[in-house]
Amino acid sequence: MTLTAEVTTPPATPAPPPGTARKRRQAAETRAGYAFLAPWLLGFFLLTAGPMLASLYLAFTNYNLFAPPEFTGLENFRLLFKDPSYLKAWQVTGTYVLFGTPIKLIAALAVAMLLNNRRRGKGFYRSSFYMPSLVGASVSIAIVWKAMFIDNGIVDQIGQFFGAPAGGWVGDPNRTMPMLILLTVWQFGAPMVIFLAGLKQIPNELYEAASVDGAGPVRKFRNITLPMLSPVIFFNLLLETIHAFQIFASAFIISNGTGGPARSTLFYTLYLYQRGFQDFRMGYAAAMAWVLVVVIGLITVLFFRSSKFWVHYSGEGK
């Protein structure tokens, strides 16, 4: 809305009086700016906003791709909360978000702090710790992961050596979730790099002053690093939480698209995909998508509301 309003503003200004060439040039530049934006804007409206509106409509219909959509009001939403698999999908996704995200962030922060101090070869270490994030999103790594955790795979063999029960993680519903959480924790590179940037910005004088006052490393971490880093932590936490809700590819590959064994990897988006493209219930799937959008929106609002209690911006006093 605001975008279109701004677009119409420049032509509405009266013709500039002669001599104000500067203003004219600015207007021309604005136009050029929007012209450059045009492909993106077109893409946004045609490929994102349009389909989103269509899916909002479909959420209130019974649509199986073959016959035209039939308006059913809130029926899809009513069915959702009676569907045991749907509730299971929330449970699985919730567990993943609740455990995966904090563990991943803690790992990212820990590694970032280690790398922050390192002097020699830090470029090499940073790249190698960031690498899993680059390859981790790909399909191939999920396949590798599956091969590692399968019955008699390398993880199983090492586990048996230390007395863990035999049998792969992939086929055991109690161990698929830890396996997927490990996979996401391993991809801590992106939040780590952001943490690292945040750590670099903390003025060294603060630590020096604290040392003079006799503060130990724990005290420094709690009273300097954490508060100074809190905007970055907030950013990472928000991003990673939203990201975790959308997990799809690794679960799809590891369970062959079934969400199995015993629905233990039936993540929200995976179930949505099954409903839409395997059961041909597009209206139902669209309703699921919109519930997810609303829930993620609410969680984001909650985060922002809570941020004023624990996030400190150093510029605030000025």
Q: How far apart are CA 281 and CA 63, in angstroms?
A: 6
Rounded least distance, CB 118 to another protein, Å? 40
Q: How far apart are CA 90 and CA 176, in angstroms?
A: 16
Per CB under 8 A, which region of 82-90, 96-104, 137-145, 180-188 contacts another protein? 82-90
The yes or no reply on residue 201 touching another protein (CB under 8 A) is no
The correct pick among 10, 102, 132, 167 for binding another protein (CB under 8 A) is 167
The yes or no reply on residue 68 touching another protein (CB under 8 A) is yes
Per CB under 8 A, which region of 9-17, 80-88, 185-193, 224-232 contacts another protein? 80-88
- Is 214 within 8 Å of 280 (Cβ atoms)? no
Per-residue buried b or exposed e for 81-94, using 16+ beta carbons within 10 Å of the residue's own CB: eeeeebebbbebbe
User: Which pair of structure tokens corresponds to residue 108?
Assistant: 């990212």
Return the residues of window 220-279 that contact another protein according to CB under 8 A. Answer: 256-263, 277-279
Q: How far apart are CA 27 and CA 25, in angstroms?
A: 5
Instruction: Kindly determine how many residues on this chain lie close enough to bind another protein according to the rule CB under 8 A.
Output: 40
The correct pick among 35, 117, 121, 218 for binding another protein (CB under 8 A) is 35
Rounded least distance, CB 155 to another protein, Å? 12
Q: How far apart are CA 286 and CA 230, in angstroms?
A: 36
- Is 168 within 8 Å of 149 (Cβ atoms)? yes
Binding residues for another protein (CB under 8 A): 28, 32, 35-36, 38-39, 42-43, 46, 64-68, 79, 82-84, 150-152, 167-168, 170-173, 256-263, 277-281
